[in-house]
């Protein structure tokens, strides 16, 4: 039985709730890859900082130099607010465009595909919980169960979570103002990416927006490294970082679209990880160079990740023609 707070969401198939998560996943009609992928992510839960807290109590001397380097790199990545800002601003645009409801304030319905245990977009949705109806969908139940706890603790009982394959029959067409996916679309092969784009178009309202952050396979060095390490990686079957053709196909499925490239030369800052200050300074300098390079098509092959923003056609020719939501300048420049 679905909790009354989440009755705003109509599902196309009957679902029972398990600990607050609507269960739709049907293994009998699923591909082997999805069943394996579900099992792979099933055990992953956000541990509410328990692991970090335990690590902090360990004397630093016990840490190997490799651990220390890795912690520096991770903390540098955590300091990088570009993804969080991009999605927060995108959601602000979606909220600003929505017509005001009876209360005088706009309310929007958004869906996050492959939400896992939560992302920077989930946090932006939580920050606007009084104006957002959120549904997160993922193959794996474990991460959804921890996200359910987070929502309930944060006063977002009306946020819904669904355990299912995004491409299965689950939501009414035209029911969302925005669709988000972070590090999820590259889990679909080329045909799957086409179906992902088609379903995104179908689920969005006219003029609805989508935003994505995805891994790219357009850097020849990285593509070679990936190919070389393929045999040792368990999750290969569902890792399909975007090729140039796939980027063009995906964006071309929408009348409005934009791509911003990031993580290019900046990745080489890792070589300065032996010194925290040097790591930061190198990363800043390389990022500034990235920002310039990303403006030129020729140099885009340096980049390893991208933000995509798309928009469906407005309802009528006279409807809004505002450009696709962009975090900063709104031009096709990359954040670097």
Ligand X SMILES: C[S@@+](CC[C@H](N)C(=O)[O-])C[C@H]1O[C@@H](n2cnc3c(N)ncnc32)[C@H](O)[C@@H]1O
- Count of beta carbons in the 10 Å neighbourhood of residue 176: 23
CB of 105 to ligand X, least distance (A): 28
CB of 191 to ligand X, least distance (A): 13
- Count of beta carbons in the 10 Å neighbourhood of residue 53: 10
Round to whole Å and give the CA distance between 27 and 11: 18
Q: What are the Cα distances from residue 266, in Å, to 110, 261, 285? A: 32, 12, 8
For residue 11, the cross-strand partners are: 171
Closer Cβ to ligand X, 47 or 130, answer by number: 47
Return the biggest CA–CA distance within the chain. 66
Q: What are the Cα distances from residue 24, in Å, to 18, 27, 170, 279? A: 10, 10, 8, 45
* Interacting residue with ligand X among 9, 11, 137, 326 (CB under 6 A): 137
* Interacting residue with ligand X among 98, 139, 141, 309 (CB under 6 A): 139
For residue 211, the cross-strand partners are: 180, 309
CB of 166 to ligand X, least distance (A): 4
Give the distance, in angstroms, between the CA of residue 152 and the centroid of all CA atoms in the same chain: 22
* Interacting residue with ligand X among 116, 136, 142, 208 (CB under 6 A): 116
CB of 147 to ligand X, least distance (A): 10
Give the distance, in angstroms, between the CA of residue 105 and the centroid of all CA atoms in the same chain: 27
Binding mask 269-288 for ligand X (x = CB under 6 A): --------------------
Count the residues of the shown chain that bind ligand X, applying the rule CB under 6 A: 20
Would you count residue 166 as binding ligand X (CB under 6 A)?
yes
Closer Cβ to ligand X, 34 or 282, answer by number: 34
- What is the Cβ-side half-sphere exposure of residue 23, based on CA atoms within 13 angstroms? 11
Minimal CB distance residue for ligand X: 114
CB of 230 to ligand X, least distance (A): 17
Binding range to ligand X, per CB under 6 A, among 99-107, 137-145, 149-157, 262-270: 137-145
| Residue numbers at the binding site for ligand X (CB under 6 A) | 34, 37, 41, 113-116, 119, 137-140, 143, 165-167, 182-184, 187
């Amino acid at each position: 039985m679905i909790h009354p707070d989440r009755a705003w969401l109509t599902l196309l198939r009957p679902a029972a709730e398990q600990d607050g998560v609507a269960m739709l996943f049907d293994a009998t009609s699923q591909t082997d890859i999805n069943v394996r992928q579900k099992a792979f992510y099933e055990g992953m839960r956000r541990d509410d900082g328990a692991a970090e807290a335990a690590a902090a109590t360990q004397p630093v001397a016990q840490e190997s130099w490799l651990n220390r380097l890795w912690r520096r790199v991770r903390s540098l990545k955590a300091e990088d607010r570009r993804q969080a800002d991009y999605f927060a601003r995108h959601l602000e645009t979606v909220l600003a465009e929505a017509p005001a409801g009876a209360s005088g304030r706009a309310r929007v319905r958004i869906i996050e595909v492959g939400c896992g245990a939560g992302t920077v977009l989930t946090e932006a949705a939580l920050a606007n919980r009084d104006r957002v109806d959120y549904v997160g969908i993922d193959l794996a139940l474990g991460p959804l169960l921890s996200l359910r706890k987070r929502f309930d603790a944060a006063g977002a009982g009306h946020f819904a979570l669904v355990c299912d394959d995004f491409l299965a029959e689950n939501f009414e067409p035209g029911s969302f103002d925005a669709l988000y996916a972070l590090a999820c679309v590259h889990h679909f092969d080329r045909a799957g990416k086409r179906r992902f784009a088609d379903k995104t178009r179908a689920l969005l309202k006219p003029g609805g927006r989508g935003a994505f952050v995805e891994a790219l396979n357009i850097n020849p060095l990285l593509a070679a490294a990936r190919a070389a390490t393929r045999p040792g990686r368990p999750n290969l079957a569902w890792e399909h970082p975007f090729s140039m053709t796939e980027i063009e196909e995906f964006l071309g499925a929408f009348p409005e679209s934009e791509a911003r490239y990031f993580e290019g030369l900046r990745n080489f800052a890792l070589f300065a990880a032996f010194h925290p200050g040097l790591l930061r300074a190198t990363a800043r300098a390389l990022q500034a160079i990235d920002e310039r390079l990303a403006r030129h098509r020729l140099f885009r092959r340096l980049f390893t990740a991208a933000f995509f923003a798309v928009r469906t056609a407005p309802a009528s020719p006279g409807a809004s023609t505002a450009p696709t939501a962009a975090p900063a300048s709104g031009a096709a420049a990359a954040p670097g």
